[in-house]
């Protein structure tokens, strides 16, 4: 797996997933697995575009579930061929959506895989519909836990706050998920 800064990956076809992916939890894992399978079927590299720190950590000071190093390790485990890491700061967040779309076009995605409620870009104004105007977007149905709740980084952060690290680690689904709080 190769790690890149934005605008530094030169490929002519890919399957792409974009996301903060903090924790690379069981919902992310299902999404990434699907995208990886499609990349293999299409015989193109599987590219993940992620952000460091996760936007919610940057804007709202949320608990960080995985350091960049841990996240990259997990993404490698999920079969990512290339990871683009956008350093998330004020300047990055100010980029207009068409600018970000133009950057994504550099990666030439044949398919972009996301979950159903994916929002992106400045002020979270970009939707699946926005993305679909430019790319072939595929949706992974939401992965829910045994209790019927959608697995999310926010839910896992909440479980850690409630000191329920057993359930948090269960939703993360990685053996070495140990956050001390």
Ligand X SMILES: Nc1ncnc2c1ncn2[C@@H]1O[C@H](COP(=O)(O)OP(=O)(O)OP(=O)(O)O)[C@@H](O)[C@H]1O
Ligand Y SMILES: Cc1cc2nc3c(=O)[nH]c(=O)nc-3n(C[C@H](O)[C@H](O)[C@H](O)COP(=O)(O)O)c2cc1C
Could you list the residues that contact ligand Y (CB under 6 A)? Answer: 19-20, 51, 55, 59, 93, 95, 100, 118-124
Q: Is 143 in the site for ligand X (CB under 6 A)?
A: yes
* Contact status, residue 104 vs residue 9, Cβ threshold 8 Å: no
Structure tokens at 128: 């699946």
Q: Is 114 in the site for ligand X (CB under 6 A)?
A: yes
Closest CB to ligand Y among 42 and 119? 119
List 28, 34, 36, 71, residue binding ligand X (CB under 6 A): 28
d(CA 33, CA 102): 26
Minimum CB separation from ligand X for residue 56, in Å?
Answer: 5
Q: Is 132 in the site for ligand X (CB under 6 A)?
A: no
Q: Is 66 in the site for ligand X (CB under 6 A)?
A: no
Which pairs with CB-CB distance under 8 Å and at least 24 residues apart come from 60-65?
A: 62/154, 62/157, 63/157, 63/160, 63/161, 63/179, 63/181, 64/22, 65/22, 65/23, 65/25, 65/153, 65/156, 65/157, 65/172, 65/177, 65/179
d(CA 66, CA 95): 25
Structure tokens at 77: 């485990």
* Contact status, residue 19 vs residue 30, Cβ threshold 8 Å: no
Q: Is 158 in the site for ligand X (CB under 6 A)?
A: no
Closest CB to ligand X among 45 and 55? 55
Q: Is 72 in the site for ligand X (CB under 6 A)?
A: no
Q: Is 52 in the site for ligand X (CB under 6 A)?
A: no
Minimum CB separation from ligand Y for residue 93, in Å?
Answer: 4
Q: Is 130 in the site for ligand X (CB under 6 A)?
A: no
Minimum CB separation from ligand X for residue 142, in Å?
Answer: 4
């Amino acid at each position: 797996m190769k790690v890149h800064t934005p605008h530094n990956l030169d490929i002519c076809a890919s399957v792409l997933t974009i996301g903060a992916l903090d924790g690379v939890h069981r919902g992310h894992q299902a999404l990434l697995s699907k995208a990886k399978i499609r990349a293999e079927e299409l015989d193109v590299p599987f590219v993940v575009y992620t952000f460091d720190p996760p936007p919610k950590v940057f804007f709202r000071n949320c608990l960080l579930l995985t350091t960049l190093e841990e996240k990259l390790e997990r993404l490698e485990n999920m079969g990512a061929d290339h990871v683009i890491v956008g350093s998330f700061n004020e300047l990055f967040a100010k980029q207009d959506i068409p600018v970000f779309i133009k950057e994504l076009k550099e990666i030439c995605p044949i398919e972009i895989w996301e979950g159903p409620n994916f929002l992106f870009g400045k002020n979270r104004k970009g939707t699946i519909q926005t993305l679909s105007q430019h790319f072939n977007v595929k949706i992974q149905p939401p992965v829910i836990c045994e209790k019927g709740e959608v697995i999310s980084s926010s839910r896992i952060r909440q479980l850690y706050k409630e000191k329920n690290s057993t359930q948090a680690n269960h939703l993360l689904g990685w053996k070495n998920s140990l956050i001390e709080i």
